Amino acid sequence: MKPGDMVKAKRSNTYGTFIGMRTFPNATGGDDYTCAEVMWFNKNAPNGDRISTIQADLLEVVK
C-alpha cells in the first residue's frame, strides 16, 4: 500500500484513500503500535473526523 491508493475494509463495503502509516509509542516500555490511516469516503470516525486509523491487515488495495 502506498499513500493515495484506494482501499477497502475487508469485512465491509467501506472504501477510502490510504493516507499512510502511523506509529503510536508505548509509554510503558512495550512495543510501539503501527496502524494505517484512511480517509473514508462514506463514513466518519467515532469522533466525527473523516480520517481514522485501522489495522493495516484489515485493508485491501482496490485495483
Q: What is the pLDDT of residue 10?
A: 96
Residues 10-50 pLDDT 10s? 999 899 999 999 999 998 989 999 999 999 999 888 899 99
The residue to which cell 500500500 is assigned: 1
Q: In 10 A of CB 14, how many CB atoms? A: 16
Structural domain spans, the chain: 6-61
Among candidates 35, 38, 37, which has minimal Cα distance to 15? 38
Quick one: CA torsion of 9, 13, 16, 22, rounded to 10 degrees? -20
The pTM of this model reads 0.86
Handedness of CA 59, 14, 11, 45 (dihedral sign): positive
**Architecture of domain 6-61 in CATH?**
Beta Barrel (2.40)
**What pLDDT, on a 0 to 100 scale, did the predictor assign at position 29?**
84
d(CA 36, CA 56): 5
